[in-house]
Each structure stands twice: as structure tokens, then as C-alpha cells.
Amino acid sequence: RPAYPIPMEEQGTDANAPKINSHVYRNVTECSWHGVLATNAKKCPECEASPPPAAAGSAKKRPKPPKIRTRKQLTQILNVPIGTFHAEYYLPALKKLAYHRPHCTILGKNFCGAERLAAFKRKPAAIRTRRDYAERLAAAFNLEIQCDHFGNGRSLSMEGSAVETFCARAVAALKNDVWQMSDDDLRMVFHSHLSDDSRQDAATTHA
């Protein structure tokens, strides 16, 4: 388990300790009508005290009922003693980073990815596959009135799948123990899978 020693001069939490100003992400609970509430509140006191009146008329003219939601927002912290900043903000962030780094090592192309590529190139009988998503493409209408397309927007998901193998010549040379690695021996086949479903996953692009 990683340890992060804090210098003595940065452990102060009293009024004379150096102060830190920074930004952190915090959960902020808001009422859509009355603004910020206590964190993780389930009810709005102002809505409870004076419930919104039921509006008469058609459903299209009625105001939307208030909603309470909690989201992470970037908030500023001011004049926090440096010792408190270390204990409550800085050290927890370092611990999260320490536990996140193995994922970067496993999934990153410069670490395990590079080792997998090197292993693939050492054995012509191997097959290498890659899959990735592109940014969703949205249709944009130019110089046309809005009523022609209002509520009729379209977006397109695209997934790319690549299969990389060695040519038959390289496999035959390997069997005869005369093969030497060359990029000319590599062959790649690429396929694009498209979907206009609202979800963006393999179940929709392969459907």
C-alpha cells in the first residue's frame, strides 16, 4: 500500500498555517426551481413549504414540476489550511491515481499493448484483432427551415474492427525454419459497422 509522507511544514491546520485555493469536484444537489440544496437532499424545503400550484389549461402550457438532482460539479475551495488540504483532498487524489495506474499499464498501447504487438510479430500463426468506436456522427441541415426537420434528427454510430494476420508465405517460411520478421508479411482486413440506434454498443452495430 503506498505511503505519502507529508513534510512537517505542510501539516499545519491552524489559523497560522499556509492557505490553499484550489478546485475540486463535489456532489451538488439542486432543485430545478429553487437552486442549491443540502448535499444528497431528497426534498426541497421551499417546495414543501409552498407546493407549486396546479396549472390549468392544456398539458403543453403547464410548467414542468420541480426536479431534484445530484451531480458532480467543479467547485472552488478557498483558504483551506495546507494540512487539511493534504488530508482531505490531495492524498485521496494521489491514492486514486496510484490504484488507477495499473489499468493504464494493462490497457495502454505503450505498455502491455506494445508487449502484445511484439509477441504477435514473433509468431506468424497468430492473429491480432482490434475494435474501437468513432465519435457519433450527427446530421446537420444547412440552409433549410427548422420545421422541415424538427424532432427528426439522426445520428450514426460507427465501430471499426480490424484483423491483422501474416501472409501464407510467412507461415510457410516459419514451418521451414527460415522465416525472418518483415512488415511486408503483415496483412490487415478492416470492417466498419454502422448503426442509427440511440445506443452505442456492439449489440446495435452488429444487429
Quick one: cell of 85?
488540504
pLDDT of residue 201: 58
* Separation CA 22–CA 97 (nearest Å): 18
* Separation CA 172–CA 174 (nearest Å): 5
pLDDT tens, residue by residue, 53-79? 665 555 555 677 888 999 998 888 889
Q: DSSP label at 14?
A: S
* Separation CA 134–CA 194 (nearest Å): 10
What's the chain's average pLDDT? 80
pLDDT band at 202 (very low <50, low <70, confident <90, very high): low
User: Is pLDDT above 80 for 27?
Assistant: yes
- Quote the percentage of the chain above a pLDDT of 70: 80
Helix (H, G, I), strand (E, B) or coil at 20: strand
Give the H or E element holding residue 202: helix 202-205
Quick one: cell of 104?
493504464
pLDDT of residue 81: 93
* Mean pLDDT value across residues 117-133: 83
pLDDT of residue 54: 60
Give the H or E element holding residue 35: strand 35-36
* Mean pLDDT value across residues 108-128: 83
Q: Which residue has the cell 440544496?
A: 37
pLDDT tens, residue by residue, 146-197? 555 555 666 777 778 889 988 888 888 888 888 887 888 888 898 887 777 6
Edge-first strand listing for the sheet containing 35-36: 35-36, 19-31, 68-81
